[in-house]
């Protein structure tokens, strides 16, 4: 090895400390990592990719890009009931990327590695003539055989949702200069929810033994419940009046009712939707109190198929926007 | 869910069968996968990314792009002594990519999933306005505590290399229209070695208990041996005369000696370099016979640091090209 430090050396310097808590990562000096799994536990794996100009704005702050990438993946693990412990990062950085940007990116990554008690255990860094392209593989563990799957719901189960719905989809619109009739503090709240989702990492593992099925609603409530319903061989019926909206989102819909479609189908919400036997209701309310995460019963699983949204009069609504599909709708976002 | 089948549906159709052998992949219908690890084994993980125009030509056949991606990762696992069992794929496909191209890509993936008895257990598909960008996370397992690391070499160990050296680097040059003085069949051989590397998946696990350290030489022999030497706190000395060259590569250097630098530093060779106590020599020769993979002793680990290449007269050579660094040299390839 010879020559002046270059971007690779800088990245190695910046990333190596993020692996320190994980001996099997060898300080990122080997070309592979070793992973041990605690007895009685299974590994839960997920992998999400993000592209500048498609999933985030190229000029979003570098630390927040890194943190959103981590959080989007940890949200998937939480929805399975898994305790996260490690991530691997593949990053294609645009040619000529600046050291300052890389430092901020590594800082953001480090912040979330610390906040969620995980380690960066490996990955790959390459150069691209195209936009910044990131993919993260995230690892968690669950008691063997107990993970929350999409397929576990039973007819009669209640449908629950964590947190509030639609903030991120509205935050994106606010970021794009829409929703100007909102209070600036409400706009800031929505934009923050868009930029820095809060994965429900404490709630997820607590749902094991309580929930019958779970997933995060990253692609939009209606579309994602559709997946859960189909995998469980059932239909899902949700009630508009019971959907948990933040004050900001509620104000937006009061100002202009057309934002409702965006809330129902918008996606990029990293909240957990789960189903549970009605007999679990008391325990779930207790979980909400314990975790400080609001949990709202928003509907019920029934025989049949598809997702129905009932309006305040109990009539099935037409839901036009069925969710965010990154691929074919790529032109829509940023 | 509604609407006509789009690229996402097509991809789901094409990829789901590749997960069939792995129950924890849920036919790719969940947003996470579950992994069990056999008792007494550790998971070995690696992740490699590839970008069109940087790591391969955008017009390379789609099936070969997929297969090279798989093989590059399996090579890393083999060099650790791991038995591969699963991969996860994050793919950013250019907007408007054609169904025919996607089918060929999935075919290639499926061919290698079958050939190496692995499963596609998850991943993510997104759209990009930029070049095709792929990252693969690959999983293997080894007996706990027995993986071949970069750091295990001891002074006096012999350095061994599988297969032949430099074919891929020369194949890239042939692909770019150079090496026109070679026999067309030799050119085809080199280009094939560049396009479709052969990971040493049978050899790798057989090296456990035989080799003291191992890695693949994807970044070039001299650079990669430099990593191994540094992680082991030693120097590596290799003898030019003992480097295994294919007839095609040997002919190229006989025609023009300057190709030697390309062979020593070129990279993209997915061969295993490993170190072993001289007492293992007989066993290693037997392994070569059993596996049908040539294994050549090319040098020795010694006290000190760095990598020295000895010429046919036993004098240390100047090696100008110290290996392929994707990031800072991105302009060099395609």
Q: Which residues of A are annotated as a binding site?
A: 31, 46, 48, 55, 76, 123-124, 150, 216, 218-219, 268, 324
Question: Which pairs count as long-range contacts for B246-249, CB under 8 Å and 24+ apart, including other chains?
Answer: B246/B164, B246/B167, B246/B189, B246/B190, B246/B193, B247/B186, B248/B167, B248/B170, B248/B182, B248/B183, B248/B186, B248/B187, B248/B189, B248/B190, B249/B164, B249/B165, B249/B166, B249/B167, B249/B170, B249/B190
- Residues of chain A contacting B26 with CB distance shorter than 8 Å: 149-151
* 8 A C-beta contact, residue A196 and residue A67: yes
Q: Which residues of B are annotated as a binding site?
A: 31, 46, 48, 55, 76, 123-124, 150, 216, 218-219, 268, 324
* 8 A C-beta contact, residue B140 and residue B83: yes
Residue A332 lies in a domain: no
Q: Among A2, A95, A137, select the one facing B88 at the smallest CB separation.
A: A137
Residue A334 lies in a domain: no
> Residue B263 sits in a domain of what CATH number?
3.90.650.10
* 8 A C-beta contact, residue B234 and residue B305: yes
Residue where a domain terminates, one of A92, A119, A143: A143
Q: B198 and B94, same structural domain?
A: no
H-helix or E-strand containing B281? helix B281-291
Strands B83-94 and B33-35: unpaired
Q: Which residues of B are annotated as a binding site for Mg(2+)?
A: 31, 46, 48, 76, 124, 216, 219
Asked if A30 lies within 8 A of B149 by C-beta distance, the reply is yes
Q: What is the interface size between A and B, counted as CB pairs within 8 Å?
A: 253
Predicted local distance difference test score (pLDDT) of residue A328: 37
Please say whether the dihedral angle defined by the alpha carbons of residues B243, B244, B247 and B248, taken in this order, is positive or negative. Answer: negative
Closest CA to A142 of A70, A214, A68, A198: A214
Q: A162 and A113, same structural domain?
A: no
Edge-to-edge strand ranges of the sheet holding A295-302: A213-216, A272-276, A158-162, A295-302, A235-239, A306-310
Predicted local distance difference test score (pLDDT) of residue A322: 52
Asked if B122 lies within 8 A of A46 by C-beta distance, the reply is yes
Q: A195 and A66, same structural domain?
A: no
Residue A2 lies in a domain: no
Residue B220 lies in a domain: yes
pLDDT digits (tens, 9 = 90+) for A137-150: 999 999 999 999 99
* 8 A C-beta contact, residue B244 and residue B101: no
Looking at the structure of chain A, the number of domains it has is: 2
Q: Among A26, A123, A226, select the one facing B47 at the smallest CB separation.
A: A123
* 8 A C-beta contact, residue B31 and residue A37: no
Strand, helix or coil for residue A316: strand
Edge-to-edge strand ranges of the sheet holding A83-94: A119-128, A83-94, A133-143, A41-51, B33-35
Residue B185 lies in a domain: yes
Can you spell out the DSSP letters for B116-131? TT-EEEEEEEEEESSS
Rounded-to-integer distance, Cα B157 and Cα B302, Å: 8
* 8 A C-beta contact, residue B57 and residue B171: no
Residue where a domain terminates, one of A143, A172, A195: A143
pLDDT digits (tens, 9 = 90+) for B264-279: 988 888 999 999 999 9
Asked if B127 lies within 8 A of A51 by C-beta distance, the reply is yes
Name the residue range of residue A135's domain.
7-143
Name the minimum distance, in Å, from the CA of A36 to any CA of chain B.
5
Closest CA to B163 of B216, B228, B110, B114: B216
Chain centroid to Cα B7, Å, comes to 30
Q: B173 and B291, same structural domain?
A: yes
* 8 A C-beta contact, residue B167 and residue B243: no
Find, in chain A, the residue whose alpha carbon is nearest to that of B40.
A36
The burial class, CB within 10 Å (0-12 / 13-18 / 19+), for B154 is: middle
* 8 A C-beta contact, residue A300 and residue A237: yes
* Vertex B171 angle, CA B242 and A94, to 5°: 110
Q: A176 and A124, same structural domain?
A: no
Based on C-alpha coordinates, what's the Rg of chain B?
Answer: 21
Predicted local distance difference test score (pLDDT) of residue A334: 40
Residue B27 lies in a domain: yes
Q: A273 and A176, same structural domain?
A: yes
Q: DSSP state, B53?
A: T
Residues of chain A short of pLDDT 70, as ranges, are 1-6, 319-334
Q: Which residues of B are annotated as a binding site for ATP?
A: 123-124, 150, 218
Find which of B135, B268, B332 to mutate to test the A interface (most A CBs within 10 Å of its CB).
B135
Q: Among A6, A34, A89, select the one facing B328 at the smallest CB separation.
A: A6
Residue A81 lies in a domain: yes
Predicted local distance difference test score (pLDDT) of residue B31: 86
| Residue-by-residue pLDDT tens, chain B, 334 positions | 333 346 778 888 999 999 999 999 999 988 899 999 988 999 999 999 999 999 999 999 999 999 999 999 999 999 999 999 999 999 999 999 999 999 999 999 999 999 999 999 999 999 999 999 999 999 999 999 999 999 999 999 999 999 999 999 999 999 999 999 999 999 999 999 999 999 999 999 999 999 999 999 998 999 999 999 999 999 999 999 999 999 999 999 999 999 999 999 888 889 999 999 999 999 999 999 998 999 999 999 999 999 999 998 989 987 654 544 444 333 334 3
Q: A139 and A43, same structural domain?
A: yes
Closest CA to A72 of A269, A273, A331: A269
What is the Cβ-side half-sphere exposure of residue B256, based on CA atoms within 13 angstroms? Answer: 12
Q: What are the start-end ranges of the H helices in A138-276? A: 167-175, 184-195, 203-206, 221-232, 247-255, 259-265
Predicted local distance difference test score (pLDDT) of residue B327: 42
Give percent of chain B above pLDDT 90.
85
Rounded-to-integer distance, Cα B170 and Cα A23, Å: 38
Q: DSSP state, A24?
A: G
For B177, residues 6+ apart whose C-beta sits below 8 A from its C-beta are none
Q: CA distances (Å), A84 to each of A75, A115, A117, A139, in order?
A: 10, 11, 8, 6
Q: B127 and B156, same structural domain?
A: no
> Residue B60 sits in a domain of what CATH number?
3.30.1330.10
Q: B111 and B199, same structural domain?
A: no
Q: A193 and A92, same structural domain?
A: no
Residue where a domain terminates, one of B143, B174, B193: B143
Q: CA distances (Å), A190 to each of A14, A55, A146, in order?
A: 31, 16, 34
Rounded-to-integer distance, Cα B166 and Cα B184, Å: 17
Q: A298 and A185, same structural domain?
A: yes
- Residues of chain B contacting A55 with CB distance shorter than 8 Å: 126
Rounded-to-integer distance, Cα A278 and Cα A123, Å: 43
* 8 A C-beta contact, residue A275 and residue A211: yes
Residue A129 lies in a domain: yes
Strand, helix or coil for residue B108: helix
Q: B160 and B55, same structural domain?
A: no
Question: Hey, what's the torsion of the CAs at A107, B55, A54, A14, to 10 degrees?
Answer: 0
């Amino acid at each position: 090895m010879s020559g002046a430090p270059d971007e690779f050396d800088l990245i190695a310097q910046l990333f190596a400390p993020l692996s320190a808590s994980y001996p099997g990562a060898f300080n990122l000096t080997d070309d592979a990592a070793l992973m041990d799994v605690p007895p009685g536990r299974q590994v839960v794996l997920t992998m999400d990719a993000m592209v500048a100009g498609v999933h985030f704005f190229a000029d979003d702050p570098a630390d927040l890009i890194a943190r959103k990438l981590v959080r989007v993946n940890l949200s998937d693990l939480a929805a399975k009931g898994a305790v996260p412990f490690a991530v691997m990062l593949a990053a294609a950085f645009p040619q000529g990327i600046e050291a300052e940007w890389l430092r901020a990116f590594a800082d953001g990554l480090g912040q979330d590695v610390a906040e969620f008690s995980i380690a960066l255990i490996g990955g790959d860094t390459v150069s691209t003539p195209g936009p910044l392209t990131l993919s993260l593989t995230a690892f968690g563990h669950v008691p063997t055989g107990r993970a929350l799957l999409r397929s576990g719901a039973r007819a009669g189960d209640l449908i629950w949702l964590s947190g509030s719905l639609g903030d991120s989809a509205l935050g994106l619109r606010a970021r794009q200069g829409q929703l100007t009739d909102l209070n600036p503090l409400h706009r800031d709240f929505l934009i923050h929810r868009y930029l820095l989702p809060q994965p429900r990492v404490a709630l997820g593992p607590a749902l094991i033994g309580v929930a019958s099925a779970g997933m995060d609603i990253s692609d939009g409530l209606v579309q994602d419940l559709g997946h859960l319903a189909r995998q469980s061989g059932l239909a899902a019926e949700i009630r508009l009046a019971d959907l948990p909206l933040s004050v900001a989102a509620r104000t937006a819909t009061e100002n202009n009712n057309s934002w409702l479609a965006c809330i129902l189908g918008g996606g990029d919400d990293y909240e957990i939707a789960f189903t549970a036997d009605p007999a679990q209701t008391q325990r779930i309310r207790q979980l909400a109190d314990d975790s400080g995460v609001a949990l709202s019963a928003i509907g019920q699983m029934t025989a049949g198929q598809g997702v129905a949204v009932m309006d305040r009069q109990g009539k099935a609504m037409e839901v036009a926007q069925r969710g965010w599909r990154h691929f074919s709708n790529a032109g829509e976002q940023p």
